[in-house]
Structure 1
Amino acid sequence: MTRIDRDEEREKRIKMDIVVDAYNRHERAIGWYTYLEDTIRFPFEAQCIEEREVSPLEEGEDVRVNGMSSVEASQSEMFVTVDWMGRELGVPLAQVEPIKVDGETEEAVADWHYWAGRGYEF
């Protein structure tokens, strides 16, 4: 994922709504997980926007995103579950782009893409 320019409005929302009162890596991961799980409307259709070593998805491949992966799986980055080749599989949220979703879902996924694209870590 290419580095993304700083967005002050998004920075403020992330700081004040998502990782507010998070003082360590684990608390920031839980803040993100909770925000995404509470905001995104699952399931939704998405397209793979980049290939990743940790995922079998190929760029341009369409998938159905069913929900968040477990909290434990999302301690280094956010993972979602997708239907893939007849089974459910966890893939990085940063790897997929929603297709025709509601505004809240679009913004929440864009928030995570921004965080990941800026190179931020928990």
Structure 2
Amino acid sequence: MPLTRKEIKEIIENEIIVDCYTDEEAETGWATYMEDNLNFPFEAEYLVRKASKPNEWKKVKIIENYTNSSNYEGGDFYLSALLEDVDMIIPVEIGELRNVEADEQTLDTLQIWKSKDKY
């Protein structure tokens, strides 16, 4: 069941940016939260852009964080997606995924991430 706005706000304020006094500290808080709360692998759909054919939504396996606390500088957070039919791993931004199939903790974490700029 999706989190409420109140629950999201409480998690952001009490777990992610608690005791953060600078943007850099907040960025570290966000990256650490994402690292600690996403459980891999999980599946989602990603719009694959093709040069010679129309773009196509494909099921991909999300296998790990591409972004982490050592390379996150604010902005987008990327995950590593495995395109199994072409045996390729690519970085995908969380906002580019749809129809995510994951455990509840991962779904909650993705929902919180998508709400981060509102609080």
TM-based fold match above 0.5 = yes
Q: How far apart, CA to CA, are the structure 2 residues paired with 1:97 and 1:26?
A: 29
SS where residue 108 of structure 1 aligns? helix
Which structure would you say has the larger Rg? 2
- Maintained 8 Å contact 2:49/2:56: no
Structure 1 letter corresponding to 2:15: D
SS where residue 41 of structure 1 aligns? coil
- Maintained 8 Å contact 1:44/1:98: no
C-alpha displacement of 1:73:
4.5
The residue aligned with 1:78 is: 77
The residue aligned with 1:45 is: 43
Rate the CA distance shift 1:104–1:38 in 2: closer, same or farther, 3 A.
same
Higher strand share: 2
Under a length normalisation based on structure 1, what TM-score does the superposition of the two structures give? 0.72
SS where residue 60 of structure 1 aligns? strand
Q: Which stretches of structure 1, 4 residues or more, deviate above 4 A after TM superposition? A: 55-59
Supply the RMSD in Å over aligned alpha carbons: 2.6
The residue aligned with 1:93 is: 94
C-alpha displacement of 1:98:
5.5
Give the length in aligned residue pairs: 108
